Structure 1
């Protein structure tokens, strides 16, 4: 079936028409050959018998056989010579031939038992008839033999059969030619149309007209041409739509959907080009950062649709003053950016003043209420000293912040000291975010392991760390918000949040830990908390409320904050140590280091500053400082902890020095406290002791 499906039209016609006809013709010719041969044999046999009987009767009427001349005349008179396959012979009683007509043949020497007999030979059928005298005794006079030459007859019929086969073959060859011509008249236009369709698929829009008289092919060709023309129209329409869609996408990728202005990405791209132009060709370009004043009032009182409409109207008004070579963009919200190409700073200030006046004169009407707004504009000249686009926009933002700080609706040209004001502005924003995070519990607790190196039986440490969750669920590292918290006196609130939530998370763990080897969690305290007289009662209440054993907790204070608040720190340490709490002095060696202070600070652990530890294998000074700290700590029976362990070489060096504990990314990375607790419970249920490897599984990492 697969073979037949792969055949062409011409091959199928030849296979289905010529082959069966040829086979049937040969079959019928063979059948006719056999029937005709049999019929001729029967007819000749009958004729031979009749002739033999006739001659025997003629001779029988004579009293005796006459001489050869008479018999030969008798044979010729029988007209047997008209039959090409018959031979006649008259013999005497001893079967000696007297006369013969036709081809010679052999007669069996044995006497026949009957008067008439047909003898089968290899190549002849011989009919024998006896001749008797008319006398009373009926003496045997002789024999009449008529032989049929089967070989000659079969050969002639075979030759005729072969000729007929040849005629049939010739006729079928002619039919094959006709079939090929007919099939080509069908397949050729189909192949040409197929080739034309392939060219059409490759982009050739022209389909050639194939002349064909067959109505079916003509109809198919007409239909295909109509489809192709329709596809050309569809393709052309689709191409135009795609081009329009691509143009629309390019436009949307570069423009703001609300105002139709250039968006931030496109503005930054053009700012990059302007910065390169300044560095390569010393061109003059100026960037203006604009922020509408009191725009939030419109949104809060009238809703966002009204605010959007106001932004559209202001964008249309300001666009009228923008030069063709300039780029006016909406950066987001009520913020706009303006790139003034090939413009001096003085001209830029003049243009900015005109824009400010246009906004000041603008009145927005909504539901019968009239609103007036202003715009603060920060200007920065793009110079070759600026490193990148980020620095350009940051300077312009700083100048805009100064303009707002000066009373709003102002224009300010950037100066280097404006960055300080912008940093303060960012820190002020963090104050609000930190307070909201404390109120809504947007902080997240992490922890990291601190592992014993000298005495493996010592309890493992877990330092509690804090992170903040952003609006999208991401994690913000403490370096982003702790400086603002320290500047604006928020560290005490953060410390209390950490203590409370750490105790809440650890309460189930400590309830199941009593029968096993204890471990220690370390909680950081800021310098502000050390100076807070209410911190000690707060910690005691937390121990009581959450049923946490003080011996499992270690508070960690930095060297600088401890020395600044030396009296309060000593009092806090003394009170809590009487309860069983431990203390650690963090970042020792980074600030106002003085070994004499250690005499008055009853701490249990001393953590070396990571600045000495991370280069301890390559810096001799760092190694000497670390050894000095380790030596003093040993003499005072204070266990040391080395942080920032980043490789095996550092770990080996610290272990050789005698450092008690190590902490760093090489040992393990921080993970969320909840995840660490779940791992700890799993390991606690399966083993009575918390091994070092299990302790590593419980630690947590900062983002």
Structure 2
């Protein structure tokens, strides 16, 4: 206890109190020896001095206890217990006395998403190692902070005239960084930093939130955030996508398949989606789907597509025997909804659509967060008569593992293996192997990105059953295609 007193500034007061106590005792004893006070008075005064000294030490101990408790509370608030890094509270305090600084967010999500096997301990170690590495190799990034609900580190630097040069040096440092874990070393998968100027009057917490949520623009390693326009921009985006639902600006398109053998009769096609702009321009999913994902509207979009597709099928199909399969894409988020299968069956009943004519495609490049619910939905849909297709096979998260676990009927070979199949022997061997596996498992195969007659002939020789691509048919409005189909009937 005595060693630690100096940490709390109590040595000097205790020393003064002890000297004062000794002087008082000496004075009392001197008066007793001189016969100025009686013995009983002597004992009484010594007892009073003893009680006062004990109260002084108890008060000091209580003060120390309160100080330790308060310090632990501050540390708990300002230091993340798991990673040992400083939190947003400490960042706010460190920035408060400074003017004109730049907040820097180092995005580690691309790296962490590829290292799922690390676990929380490994991820924490990555952040600690990177923080120490930056502190050792830069003058201005001596502390790294852990932003809440984000996969990255926050730092700050003074807003110097040559800040862009310093940021380029930071990118080079990130390029040279290696994370060491269990006798292995890896570099960062994709190093991007987000930067924003911050003034004394700015809300640090709000800016950190915007900085961490901001997506990198194009492929730039250094991205600057315009704090003034970000909120307005996001509000405009949300308003735009909500108006698309409200005003029914989405339009259903489709792309027909070609059956590569004579056993398959009827028309087969995949339902696609486009977005009509006010200037008569049609947007593809690559342009508007990032907004759907940003605001978490995947389930609403899937429901719109299913409902409107069933409605058009009901209005236009006279003889269901003329329809082979209508394929509809489902997002991973929709598959994780426990009510998906029930809602689809309900809409099928409302519009009188036989589900044996419907195929639902799931994209392999999308991870299933709750696989048990997804499998349950797919199983219920198959029981109702639907077929299930695995899209983009070979490019995503699980490939053959999904093939083994998910209830499937159709395998769609990703176009990256098909587009060069005529000239690439490696691609031909890969597609042949996929075809053999699918046929052994009694799965129907569909090849995407079929662009020529040469593609078609090659795929026939590999026992692929359907072809899809511009070499077969270009996308067209679903309404027009269904009218042609009904006229043939």
Normalised-by-shorter TM-score class = 0.5 to 0.7
8 Å contact 1:428–1:484 — kept in the other structure?
A: no
| 1:434 aligns to 2:250 (yes or no) | no
| Counterpart secondary structure, 1:418 | strand
8 Å contact 1:427–1:484 — kept in the other structure?
A: no
Instruction: Return the offset for 1:484.
Output: 2.5
> 1:206: which partner in 2?
none
> 1:644: which partner in 2?
449
| Counterpart secondary structure, 2:365 | helix
Question: Of the candidates 419, 440, 457, which is equivalent to residue 614 of structure 1?
Answer: 419
Counterpart mapping for 1:630-669 below 5 A: 630-669=435-474
Determine the C-alpha separation between the residues in 1 that align with 2:416 and 2:272.
Answer: 20
- Cα 1:517–1:470 change in 2 (3 A) is closer
Counterpart mapping for 1:313-392 below 5 A: none
> 1:524: which partner in 2?
329
Determine the C-alpha separation between the residues in 2 that align with 1:484 and 1:609.
Answer: 24
Q: How many residues are treated as equivalent by the alignment?
A: 287
Instruction: Return the offset for 1:399.
Output: 8.9
Instruction: Return the offset for 1:622.
Output: 1.8
Instruction: Return the offset for 1:456.
Output: 4.6
> 1:277: which partner in 2?
none
Residue deviations 1:493-519 (CA, integer Å, cap 9, x gap): 100010111111111233x114x4442
Counterpart mapping for 1:82-481 below 5 A: 417-419=222-224, 429-481=236-288
Query: Whose relative contact order is higher, 1 or 2, with alpha carbons under 8 Å and at least 6 apart?
Result: 2
Instruction: Return the offset for 1:640.
Output: 0.5
Instruction: Return the offset for 1:457.
Output: 3.2
Residue deviations 1:457-488 (CA, integer Å, cap 9, x gap): 33331111111111122211110111221233
Give the unaligned 5+ runs of structure 1: 1-344, 350-378, 382-397, 685-703
Moved more, 555-564 or 475-484: 555-564
Residue deviations 1:95-126 (CA, integer Å, cap 9, x gap): xxxxxxxxxxxxxxxxxxxxxxxxxxxxxxxx
- Cα 1:565–1:638 change in 2 (3 A) is farther
Residue deviations 1:197-244 (CA, integer Å, cap 9, x gap): xxxxxxxxxxxxxxxxxxxxxxxxxxxxxxxxxxxxxxxxxxxxxxxx
Instruction: Return the offset for 1:436.
Output: 1.4
Instruction: Return the offset for 1:564.
Output: 4.5
| Counterpart secondary structure, 2:474 | coil
Determine the C-alpha separation between the residues in 2 that align with 1:567 and 1:628.
Answer: 29
Residue deviations 1:151-177 (CA, integer Å, cap 9, x gap): xxxxxxxxxxxxxxxxxxxxxxxxxxx
TM-score normalised to the size of structure 1? 0.38
Question: Of the candidates 370, 383, 386, which is equivalent to residue 578 of structure 1?
Answer: 383
Question: Of the candidates 308, 319, 335, which is equivalent to residue 513 of structure 1?
Answer: 319
Determine the C-alpha separation between the residues in 1 that align with 2:330 and 2:312.
Answer: 18
Q: Which has the larger radius of gyration?
A: 1
8 Å contact 1:543–1:549 — kept in the other structure?
A: yes
8 Å contact 1:431–1:485 — kept in the other structure?
A: no
| Counterpart secondary structure, 1:640 | strand
8 Å contact 1:507–1:547 — kept in the other structure?
A: yes
- Cα 1:564–1:637 change in 2 (3 A) is farther
Question: Of the candidates 284, 301, 306, which is equivalent to residue 499 of structure 1?
Answer: 306
Residue deviations 1:647-677 (CA, integer Å, cap 9, x gap): 1211111110000000000111011112222
> 1:678: which partner in 2?
483
Q: Please provide the CA RMSD for this pair.
A: 3.4
8 Å contact 1:430–1:481 — kept in the other structure?
A: no
Determine the C-alpha separation between the residues in 2 that align with 1:564 and 1:622.
Answer: 31
> 1:627: which partner in 2?
432
8 Å contact 1:503–1:548 — kept in the other structure?
A: yes
Instruction: Return the offset for 1:429.
Output: 4.1
